[in-house]
Amino acid sequence: MVCEMETDQIEEMDVEGLSSMWPEDVGTQADNQFNVGDSDTLKEVDIAEKHTMADLTRLPELMNTTDQGSSQLTNLVRQWEYMQDHAVRLLREELKILTRQREEAEAKELKIIEEHNFESQEPENVPVLDETSHLFRRFRQKKRDELVDRERVVIDEEFDTVAYWKQKALSLEKMLEASTERERRLIEKLNESLKTMESHSAPVEELTQNLKRAEGFLHFILQNAPIVMGHQDKDLRYLFIYNKFPSLREQDILGKTDVEIFHGGGVKESEDFKREVLEKGKASKREITFETELFGSKTFLIYVEPVYNKAKEKIGINYMGMEVTDQVRKREKMAKLREDNAVRKAMESELTKTIHITEETMRAKQMLATMSHEIRSPLSGVVGMAEILSTTKLDKEQRQLLNVMISSGDLVLQLINDILDLSKVESGVMKLEATKFRPREVVKHVLQTAAASLKKDLTLEGNIADEVPILVVGDVLRIRQILTNLISNAIKFTHRGKVGIKLQVISQPSFANEEQKETSVWICCDVYDTGIGIPENALPCLFKKYMQASADHARKYGGTGLGLAICKQLVELMGGQLTVTSQVNAGSTFTFILPYKVATSDDHSDDQDEFSDMVDHHQPEPDDTTEGYFQFKPLLGSIYSNGGSVTGNNFLPHKAMLTTPLKLTNGFVSDPSSNTGQSETVQVENGGYMDESRQNCCPESAHQYGNGNGRCSSKESESCSSSQASSEMESELTVSSPREEEKTETEVKETSQPKILLVEDNKINIMVAKSMMKQLGYTMDIANNGVEAINAVKDSSYDLVLMDVCMPVMDGLKATRLIRSYEESGNWEAAIEAGVDIKTSENDQACVPPTNRLPIVAMTANTLAESSEECYANGMDSFISKPVTLQKLKQCLQQYLQ
């Protein structure tokens, strides 16, 4: 394409006719103008020399005084001389030919005579012929002076001795005569021509003629050429110009300099150039673009040479300009085209490279995510099993080994979760949920969880300004994740003092977009600590992936270096901003500003009732929903005194901070019992009690499952923290009522099995799954779609839900989301909003907020990573790919029920 264009261009150029150097209309106008003026009439007549202008008086002078001039004359003279020489040589040659002819003729004659002589010798032998020989001798004599005695000889020969010879002699005579005559005439001619040669006019005349011819020739060649020629003296005044601009008259140019004649761009440059040549004494070429009023924009290729006189002094310059405007334009156009072309090519290649890199990156990310996911499932199995193992009887060494194993496993799990989160955010897969939540509650829960696993002498505090709304709408899970991340980070790098969260409403920040401006309240959240701080030079890379403030820190404190990067991305995903200020050895403050929609709090009262119900079981305390300040002191004494159960706490920090945000909710939701009002002594007591209860319950864990609420040894063993141990007791009491079929607690403990719900619409699948369950020793309830599942979950508490993804009426993803929302909020508002007909059963009191997160395992026909990602995003805990096999089912049950 490009090539074609180029050739096209070239052809165009080739074909295009040359326009005259000077504009045509200007030319004619000028001519007309000349017609009017008398002074130019003569010139007009002299058509051939119309454009020529020469100072005739000066020109000969110039010719005589300059080297060029004299050499020209010398040349002419030399040429003339050469011509003359040539003529002479020609004549000489002719003469030579003639001479040779004559000699030949004479030789011929002689020969004839000799022949004759020879023939006549025979008769000579005869005495009778004496007379003839004599005659011959005489003839020979005569022949020598024929010119004198010819007549006479002829007469003599007419003697009738021998007729034949007489005849012959006669003809010979005639020939001779003719030849002689010719010779004579030639000589005459030669003389004549010599004479005319002498009489030839002087060479000057011929020189003039030659000059004229040269001029004519120049005219002929240059008449239409876009060439202007001139001679200027050493002041650069024109002495001679050829093919001037038509509207200028002779007197306008001669004796003037360029600057005096023209105005505009390029004039000065050309004058300077001429001067430069004059000074340097060296001929030179340059391209100059003129921009004059007279003829507009024209580019000339100018050749200037200095002119010397015979004394080798500079007396001026000759200059010749050729108009190359079109060529220059074309050249520039071509150059531009080529440049554009090159640029485009470069851009193209750059683009291809970028695309390639992007593709590679995407592939790598996808690969990383897929791999991470593939690793996570078996790893959670390993860690889970290890955790279960840690609840069995082990000797000290085994326990230590196991602890190392669990904490390493947790670290890897955390890393993988982080990577998955990151890739989710980066690939835009992560979708934000809009749920109502209470910021105070969230802050409290986050701090509580952190406090539960705190092993340092730190005070954790939460401070929420009064103007912060009670209820806002946002993605509470993500916000929790961010808060938890920041808090755990703060705790990690703080050795004494305090770590806290401060919430306040701020005015709309400058980065808010239109949409946000309308409906949002902006809440600024500070997470501050009195830790080691961050050096200023480390701040820029703080939010980069896999980066920590320094390698030393990384070694000392561990961690993946992904936490802050995720926080930042999440905050930005939600339309906010995360910043940090820090002072070394004084502490850091991470601040994130997020927009929230303010929720109408009409449903608030219901919630509060539930909460206050729960709260009422304890001694009075400030209301969770409005309380603005919390403080948590470390529970050092109690935790460290508990030899056996410390293990559980040892790996808790990892879990609480680092597993997916979904899991974090476990800790939060079961909070009501662990209130701030509890005194230290109570805690210690609880710790002791809990220790006991653990030892009791662990070996015969089966009965705990039956309860469905107070599971202590499951994967979510967060509930084992001392403060929550009491909740276990509490919830057992509260929840026992909905389960009518339970006769007494002890009975339940012995007979009940884990309660499993299968949500599946396909009869055959149900049949197969049921049969498998049976073989594994379990029974299960069946729901045929999401709505049925929600109702089932609402009416009784399950230990595990196996959820088909694709179902009629309501699919598994949505059902899971609604169940999670219920766990989050403690009510089925979201489900009702979604159109689920929540049957208000007689046992309304069953609608307590769930104390545990219900494990929901997806059953998906598509085993692609994308679909499993979707499962996780919707709150599912893991997934089984279809078709379900015994092995898979067994693994799943082991993971979630033991």
Partner 1 sequence: MNTVVAQLQRQFQDYLVSLYQQGFLDNQFTELRKLQDEGTPDFVAEVVSLFFDDCSKLINSMSRSLERPENVDFKQVDSGVHQLKGSSSSVGARRVKNVCISFKECCDVQNREGCLRCLQQVDYEYKMLKTKLQDLFNLEQQIVQAGGAIPQVNIN
* 641 versus 765: smaller Cβ distance to partner 1: 765
Integer angstrom CA distances of residue 550 from 499, 541, 555, 557: 22, 10, 9, 11
**Cβ closest to partner 1, residue 760 vs residue 824:** 760
CA–CA distances in Å: residue 222 to residues 53, 216, 768: 14, 10, 105
Q: Minimum distance from CB of 897 to partner 1 (Å)?
A: 20
The yes or no reply on residue 761 touching partner 1 (CB under 8 A) is: yes
Residue 179 within binding range of partner 1, rule CB under 8 A:
no
Q: Which is nearer to partner 1, 703 or 888 (CB)?
A: 888
In the structure encoding, which two tokens stand for residue 78, read together?
């030399």
Half-sphere exposure in the Cβ direction for 761 (13 Å, CA): 14
Tell which one of 463, 762, 796, 898 touches partner 1 (CB under 8 A).
Answer: 762
Binding residue for partner 1 (CB under 8 A) from 772, 809, 848, 865?
772
Identity at 830, one-letter amino acid code: A
- The total of other beta-carbon atoms located within 10 Å of residue 60's CB is 11
Beta strands in 68-170 (DSSP E): none
Beta partners for 259? none
751 in contact with partner 1 (CB under 8 A): no
Helices 396-427 and 865-873: angle between axes, nearest 10 degrees: 100
Of 717, 854, 882, 892, which one interacts with partner 1 (CB under 8 A)? Answer: 882
Q: Which stretch binds partner 1 (CB under 8 A): 34-42, 122-130, 830-838, 878-886?
A: 878-886
Q: Is residue 98 part of the contact set for partner 1 (CB under 8 A)?
A: no
Q: Kindly state the smallest distance separating residue 377's Cβ from partner 1, in Å.
A: 20
Interacting span for partner 1 (CB under 8 A) from 425-433, 658-666, 706-714, 772-780? 772-780
Q: What is the DSSP letter of 537?
A: G
Could you tell me which residues are beta bridge partners of residue 562? none
453 within 8 A of 656, measured Cβ to Cβ: yes
Our finding on whether 767 is near partner 1 (CB under 8 A) is: yes
Using the contact rule CB under 8 A, the part of the chain among 293-301, 657-665, 722-730, 771-779 near partner 1 is 771-779
Q: Which strands make up the sheet holding 238-242, listed edge to edge?
A: 52-54, 238-242, 227-233, 314-323, 296-308, 284-292, 264-265
Q: Does 385 bind partner 1 (CB under 8 A)?
A: no
* Beta-ladder partners of 858: 803, 879
Residues 858-877 that bind partner 1 (CB under 8 A): 861
- Angle among Cα 583, 442, 436 to the nearest 5 degrees reads 130
Considering the rule CB under 8 A, would residue 763 count as an interface residue with partner 1?
A: yes
Q: With CB under 8 A as the contact rule, which of the stretches 223-231, 300-308, 766-774, 866-874 interacts with partner 1? A: 766-774
Q: Rule CB under 8 A: say whether 775 interacts with partner 1.
A: yes
Q: How many chain residues are in contact with partner 1, going by CB under 8 A?
A: 19
Q: Give 690 or 884: the residue with its C-beta nearer to partner 1.
A: 884
Q: Parallel, antiparallel, or unpaired: how do β-strands 227-233 and 238-242 relate?
A: antiparallel
Which two three-digit tokens encode residue 4?
């074609």
Radius of gyration of the chain (CA): 61
Give the residue with the Cβ less far from partner 1, 398 or 775. Answer: 775
Kindly give, in sequence order, each residue whose CB lies less than 8 Å from that of residue 25, ignoring residues fewer than 6 positions away. Answer: none
- Select 539 or 806, whichever has its Cβ closest to partner 1: 806
Q: Are 820 and 476 in contact (CB under 8 A)?
A: no
User: Which structure tokens are listed for 692?
Assistant: 């006991």
Question: Least distance from C-beta 885 to partner 1, angstroms?
Answer: 5
Binding range to partner 1, per CB under 8 A, among 393-401, 505-513, 620-628, 883-891: 883-891
Instruction: Compute the least distance from the CB of residue 888 to partner 1, in Å.
Output: 10
Q: How many of the other CB atoms lie within 10 Å of CB of 582? A: 22
- Note whether 771 binds partner 1 by CB under 8 A: yes
- Do residues 705 and 799 make contact, with C-beta atoms less than 8 angstroms apart? yes
The two tokens of residue 715 are: 């994967």
x/- string (CB under 8 A) for partner 1, residues 795-834?
Answer: -----------x-x--------------------------
Provide the Cα torsion 90, 95, 100, 103; round to 10°. 180
Question: Could you give the CA distance from residue 262 to residue 238 in angstroms, rounded to a whole number?
Answer: 13
Min CB(892)–partner 1 separation in Å = 15
Note whether 626 binds partner 1 by CB under 8 A: no
| 576 three-state secondary structure | coil
* Residue 716 binds partner 1, judged by CB under 8 A: no
Binding to partner 1 by residue 345, rule CB under 8 A? Answer: no
Nearest CB to partner 1, comparing residues 59 and 772: 772
Least distance between partner 1 and beta carbon 825 (Å): 32
Q: What is the nearest approach in angstroms of partner 1 to the Cβ of residue 760?
A: 9
Nearer to partner 1 by C-beta: 174 or 763?
A: 763
CA 765 to chain CA centroid, Å, is 53
Q: Closer to partner 1 by CB, 2 or 767: give it.
A: 767
DSSP 864: S
- For partner 1, the closer of residues 432 and 776 by Cβ is 776
Per CB under 8 A, residues contacting partner 1 are 761-765, 767-768, 771-772, 774-775, 806, 808, 861, 882-886
